[in-house]
Amino acid sequence: MRSDNVTKGPERAPNRSLFYALGYTKEDLDKPLIAVVSAHSDIVPGHMNLDKLTDAVKMGIEAAGGTPFMVPAIGVCDGIAMGHIGMKYSLASRELIADSTETMVMAHQFDGAVLIPNCDKIVPGMVMAAVRMDIPAVVCSGGPMLAGRYDGQEVSLSKMFEAVGAYKAGMINEEKLEECTQNCCPSCGSCSGMYTANSMNCLCEAIGIALPGNGTIPAVYAKRLQLGRASGAAIMEMVKKGITARDIINERSVRNALTCDMALGCSTNTVLHLLAIANEAGVDLDLNLFNEISAKTPNLCHLAPAGPTHMPDLYEAGGIAAVQAELAKKDLLDLDCITVTGKTVGENIKGAFNRNKNAIRPIDDPYSETGGLQILFGNIAPDGCVVKRSAVAPEMLTHTGPARVFNSEDDAIKAIYEGQIVPGDVVVIRYEGPQGGPGMREMLNPTSALAGMKLDKTVALITDGRFSGASRGAAIGHVCPEAFAGGPIGLIEEGDQIQIDIPNASINVLVSEDELTKRKATYVRPEPNIKSGWLARYARLVDGANHGAVMK
């Protein structure tokens, strides 16, 4: 065992003495040592319950013959960080989480790890570390929040951001805004729609690195604690059998995850994170594969913000196993992939079925014959960009309109709030990419303001930054190359006609190549937004979004 490096032999007596200082016994050190990497904190609603889940995982490890050690991980709450400089740190934190998880596991020579994240960047950061180290690992997430109630409807965080737009447009008063504020997030857990956190927790289950139920069991249910104990037992079986993260996450299982992604209608951020995880696993994954899989995978779910259902509805319908069972009916999954249960995908979903056709459409009656995400290419995005197709109104799948150009999210949101954006416009927000932002801010405020103002069916947005999984409408992000790296999005001028054709995967500015060449000859890149600290280092080292915004 790897832990022999810190527990066995006379040469390691000094190391053992420090374990004894912690209160562990000789018998404890004769067992496999398991890291329980917990992102518990008091600042993230999705993480406030992780201390209880951590205790449950530790109980499961001890009962199965291991010795658990809780080690910490950081986590940014994207909702609290939204709309200000804090959001520049969110995506960058993924790399810190991966590096610090690797540091803690390797420095202390743990035999395996149970990873306890819940929210947006924490999930992929931990998975990236596990695959990089290729150790036995199980993800046990904190679970989704319950849906709230507002104005007689089930709601979640996306409705809250849209309420701000409605308030700014004079459609609701301050009293209604406060009513939504008080009621849209009623419990701990990851926000209740198919936003990035829940998308990644579901995809951990789909890719096989988490037990069944990981993506959908609500945070406040006792079954979440039972899942924790089962995850503790599962890691001990993996250590015993020598099953490691790369045995589970490989080219075949990544394709399974992409297929489930398309069926579920996950966040556009899953493109970044699956690219980054695949990179760590040594899997060659590019944007064209997303379109290939989308073309043959029906979209079965319209959870918020795409529709009225929320994560508890998906759980009651049978969860990810029920979605996989629908996909298996048309041979869209590799059922022989191994998972952390020690069983194959096919064995895991045996007997699973769809209990609610309003939450999961049958495979023969999907929302659409193609998947929830679409990668677009064109002279604005030669290296691609992404849209959550399942959250786009049918009338906006194709759109041509004048560019309204802004060099930051802050300038764009000011114009939107002041009523300067009108039906037909295409809002262009640039210098918000991984390097130019830096940090590739999520722009939930602009998309939600437009939705709240009832403009989401007439106005498109494109950016080299990102959109939250809570965004809906023709919100097209990850434009590559980004403006700061010399991408053509930096050459667009106010009033240029932008042509968007989502069904045909294209996005273009209707300007001649000669004109773009002239503009490029006189283009001057602006000074970096951040010139010191961690973000300045990140900006110098980060790769493009088409490669997952990983550190070079």
Bridge partners, 398 (sequence order): 501
Q: Are 266 and 199 a contacting pair, CB within 8 Å?
A: yes
Scanning the structure block, which residue is given the tokens 């992604």? 261
Rounded CA separation 94/103 (Å): 14
Q: Which residue type does 362 have? A: P
CA 229 to chain centre: 25
Rounded CA separation 221/144 (Å): 10
Rounded CA separation 505/522 (Å): 30
Two tokens, residue 72: 């910490």
Two tokens, residue 5: 């490096």
Bridge partners, 38 (sequence order): 72, 116
Q: What one-character-per-residue DSSP string does 32-45 give?
A: PEEEEEE---SS-T
**Residues classed as catalytic:** 468
Rounded CA separation 194/202 (Å): 9
Q: Where are the beta strands (DSSP E) in 331-484?
A: 373-376, 385-388, 398-406, 426-429, 460-463, 475-477
Q: Are 69 and 35 a contacting pair, CB within 8 Å?
A: yes
Nearest to 205 by CA among 183, 226, 227, 236: 227
154 DSSP assignment: E
For the chain, give the number of residues.
552
Q: C-alpha angle 452/454/458, rounded to 5°?
A: 130
Rounded CA separation 119/278 (Å): 20
376 DSSP assignment: E
CA dihedral 220, 96, 287, 461 (to 10 degrees): 70
Distances (CA, A) of 135 to 58, 138, 233, 249: 18, 10, 16, 12
Q: Is 74 exposed, middle or buried (0-12, 13-18, 19+ CB in 10 A)?
A: middle
Rounded CA separation 445/139 (Å): 31
